[in-house]
Amino acid sequence: MIDFSRAELTHFTIHYVGNKGLGEELTVGEEPVTFKDDFIKETLLRYFLTPFKTDIYHKFRSKSEVSSNLVGDVSKNIFSSQKKFIEQSKKAAEHLYNQSVHPKIKGGEFYVCYFKDAVVDGELCDAIGYFKTENKETFLKVYQHVNTFDLDYETGIDIHKLDKGAIVFNTESDKGYKISIIDTNNKNAECALYWEEDFLGAILKENAYYFTKNFMDASRGFCEEILTENNNVSKQDQMMMLNKSTGFFKEKDKFNIKEFEKNVLVEPDLISAFSEYRHNFNDKFDLQSIDEFDVSTTAVKKNQKYMKSVVKLDKNFHIYIHGRHDYVERGYDEDKGLKYYKLYFVNEQ
């Protein structure tokens, strides 16, 4: 849980980071920014901090994984002395500029903030915020002159949509700090990792979200790659297993592999096949094989979009199955040479 209700913004600066690959400029702010009034400051804080709510945390890559991590070093230097804030924020801006080489990366304002007394997972600590605006919106302005009106427009920032942000909390410094990341403009595959990996040099932190996500990814992969018609598994049975595995997590606060095997996989052959698939999956993505962990509701909600309730039959029929898979039978009619589904029900509406 992240709580900024007690937080105070003590240092703030703005730089402009263009696209280096397109020959755009880097403009660094030489002085801290001051606010004209409290309303502007409060609006800015709401814009920056409101999106950070989930239990998805990252950490800086360790020195053993990369030769250097500039944003990690910048953060460490600022935490050690706020007198270095402007100097270090410039280094962060220069580093972001050097990563901005893909032609589809947009230039924009780059903000660096220092917060006193933030709370993350019940711990009071300072935090550093790195934010970037890339998209501008058009706002209409209406002017009234007695009984006539004029219409004009201005281009500005939509304060309800933060493009990119990262908050580094001054905790667990020996483990790469605890970082919360926002990136709403990562849909383009060619530059999707520009903010998280190229600039921040961050990877997912090993917590409840990390372990829940990885196991659910493995479970979904098993259903989609192994439980297929090529292996004599019907679409209905594949869908049932996918939904059962997701439903298992929705009902649990803590995960245990033995419970999962007993309640979801059930059959010894299925348990053995999943164990082999999971072992290969973890090796492929260099993941730890953890058999007990706390379940993250955030990871479960994100995974729900993969639950399937529709069996599509050619281009003629869709069967929506929301439960009671034992009421559905699948067979083959030899006379007609066609597959069929048989549905059982109590009441018709």
Q: β-strand 310-313 against 164-169: which pairing, if any?
A: unpaired
| Lowest mean pLDDT segment, chosen from 183-197, 284-298, 316-330 | 316-330
Half-sphere exposure of 285 (CA within 13 A, CB side): 18
Report d(CA 200, CA 182) in Å as an integer.
12
Tell whether 241 and 197 lie within a shared domain.
no
User: CA 200, CA 194: separation in Å to the nearest integer?
Assistant: 9
Query: Residue 140 domain-assigned?
Result: no
Examine the pLDDT at 309 and tell me if it is beyond 60. Answer: no
Asked whether residue 152 is assigned to any structural domain, the reply reads: no
Same-domain status, 71 and 213: no
Q: Is residue 70 part of a domain?
A: yes
HSE on the CB side for 171, CA within 13 Å? 20
What confidence category does residue 117 fall into, taking pLDDT thresholds of 50, 70 and 90? very high
In a domain, 318, yes or no: yes
Q: In the structure, how many helices (H) and strands (E) does the chain have?
A: 8, 17
Residue whose tokens read 């929506």:
320
Amino acid (one-letter) located at 335: D
Same domain, 165 and 180: yes
Residue 8 belongs to a domain:
yes
**Res 349: pLDDT:** 74
pTM flag (> 0.75) = yes
> Does 181 share its domain with 257?
no
Nearest Cα neighbor of 105 from 183, 162, 203, 201 is 183
**Domain enclosing residue 289, as ranges:** 209-343
Whether residues 111 and 14 share a domain: the answer is: yes
Counting Cβ atoms within 10 Å, is residue 232 exposed (0-12), middle (13-18) or buried (19+)? exposed
- Give the pLDDT of residue 313: 78
- Name the nearest CA neighbour of 98 among 194, 5, 2, 4: 194
Question: Residue 64 has what pLDDT?
Answer: 67
| pLDDT digit string, tens, across residues 215-263 | 999 999 998 899 988 888 877 788 788 888 888 998 899 999 999 999 9
Percent of the chain with pLDDT over 70: 95
How far lies 283's CA from each of 218, 265, 279, in Å? 11, 22, 6
Residue range 42-55, pLDDT digits in tens: 999 999 999 998 88
pLDDT (0 to 100) of residue 20:
97
Residues 188 and 247 in one domain: no
Domain identity same for 199 and 311: no
Among 176, 205, 234, the domain boundary falls at 205
Q: Which residue has the tokens 């048989």?
A: 342
Q: Which two tokens stand for residue 131?
A: 């934010």
Half-sphere exposure of 126 (CA within 13 A, CB side): 16
Q: Are residues 190 and 71 in the same domain?
A: yes
My answer on whether 319 and 190 are in the same domain is no
The region of weakest confidence among 6-10, 132-136, 182-186, 253-257 is: 182-186
CA–CA dist 65, 99 (Å, integer): 19
Domain membership of residue 10 (yes or no) is: yes
Q: Does residue 274 lie within any of the structural domains?
A: yes
| Pair 92, 74: CB distance under 8 Å | yes
Segment 242-247 long-range contacts (CB within 8 Å, at least 24 positions apart): 242/306, 242/307, 242/308, 243/307, 243/308, 243/309, 245/216, 245/219, 245/220, 246/216, 246/219, 246/300, 246/303, 246/304, 246/306, 246/307
Question: Taking residues 160-168, what's their average pLDDT?
Answer: 95
Please indicate, yes or no, whether residues 229 and 174 belong to a single structural domain of this protein: no
φ and ψ of 290, to 5 deg:
-100, 125
Round to whole Å and give the CA distance between 302 and 56: 11
State the total domains in the chain. 2
CB neighbour list of residue 193: distance below 8 Å, 6 or more residues apart: 186
**Same domain, residue pair 168 and 245:** no
Structural domain contains residue 145: no
